[in-house]
Amino acid sequence: MNTELLNEISEKLQRGKAKDVSALVNQALEEGIAPDVILNDALVVGMNIVGEKFRSNEVFVPEVLVAARAMNAGLKILNPVLADAGVEPIGTAVICTVKGDMHDIGKNLVRMMIEGQGIKCVDLGVDAAPEAVVAAVKENNAQLVCLSALLTTTMGGQRDVIEALCEAGIRDTVRVMVGGAPVTKEWADDIGADCYTLDAASAAKEAKRLILEMKKG
């Protein structure tokens, strides 16, 4: 296997070079490298490095966004090939910004990072009603729900979603992760969420852990 090529994809991804990543992913496929290997040993590795650097303040939001853009460029080529090969994502997450809140940058960062872990994300966008989250969880057999809120006045929407999941009888089938500027660990505990993280990179790491735990049963 051409590890040099995989490393190059990872490196270009980290530098946000979307066009280069596209070209190199195509080259890797042409060379016969399996699509899941390209995904896991190049794209995911690259995003993980970006995530770690983001967490340790070595890189900032712009670097994450351009890396995610490069990752998406690679995935655009890879996804149909992965589907043809029967490669499944490691799990599914439903993500949104809660009802009444239109902020989406933090949520989008988390989504990009989570996708970078090989997890399928169903993004409900902003101002998502609790019933929409419940429906999306059922429809996609999601293992994880990620709820973002940016305002102290809207963070109550996270509690509303958890209550809706309970009322729908599916609370035990998912893990719920919350985040956003006003959100704290205490708030997460108070509303019965399973996980709170301070930043997008930590969220992605926890997302993978939670999904793998769920799958283990």
Partner 1 sequence: MSGVSIIWQGCKLNGSHDKPSPWGLRGESFRFYSNQTNHNNPPKTIHHKKGAPPAHSVPGANITMTNRERALNILHYKPYDRMPAVHFGYWPELLYEWAEQGKIPLALAQSWGDGNAADEELDRLIGWDFNWYRTAGAHTGLLPGFEHKVLEVLPDGTRRVQNGDGLIEKIRPGVTSIPSEDDYLLKDRAAFEELYKPKMQFSPARINYEYFKNFNETRRYDVPVGLHLGSVLGSIRSMVSVVGMSYLIYDEDEELFADIVDTFAEMQYQCAEEILATGAKFDFAHYWEDICYNSGPLLSPEIFNELCAKHYKKRNDLCHKYGIDIISLDCDGVTEKLLPTWYENGINTMFPIEIGTWGDQFEAARNKFGTGMRGVGGMDKTVLRRDKAAVDRELVRLRRLSALGGFIPCPDHRLMPGTKFELVQYYAEEIKKIK
Residue numbers at the binding site for partner 1 (CB under 8 A): 16, 57, 59-63, 65-66, 69, 100-110, 126-127, 146-154, 177-184, 196-200, 203
Residues forming beta bridges with residue 199, ordered by sequence position: none
- Which amino acid, one-letter code, is at 80? P
Least gap, CB of 124 to partner 1 (angstroms): 13
Nearer to partner 1, 113 or 164 (CB): 113
CB count within 10 Å of CB 107 equals: 27
Residue 125 tokens read as 């966008």
Nearer to partner 1, 22 or 82 (CB): 22
Residue 190 tokens read as 């108070």
Nearer to partner 1, 39 or 103 (CB): 103
The total number of residues written for the chain in this structure: 217
Q: What is the spatial order of strands in the sheet that 175-179 belongs to?
A: 120-123, 92-97, 144-148, 175-179, 195-196
Least gap, CB of 194 to partner 1 (angstroms): 12
Nearer to partner 1, 38 or 124 (CB): 124
Nearer to partner 1, 151 or 214 (CB): 151
Closest alpha carbon to 5 in 32, 24, 30: 24
Residues forming beta bridges with residue 178, ordered by sequence position: 147, 196
Least gap, CB of 159 to partner 1 (angstroms): 15
Least gap, CB of 214 to partner 1 (angstroms): 18
Least gap, CB of 109 to partner 1 (angstroms): 6
Q: Which residues contact 127 (CB under 8 A, 6 or more apart)?
A: 97, 98, 99, 100, 101, 102
Residue 37 tokens read as 């290997």
Assess contact for 175 and 194: CB atoms under 8 A: yes
Least gap, CB of 147 to partner 1 (angstroms): 8
Nearer to partner 1, 82 or 117 (CB): 117
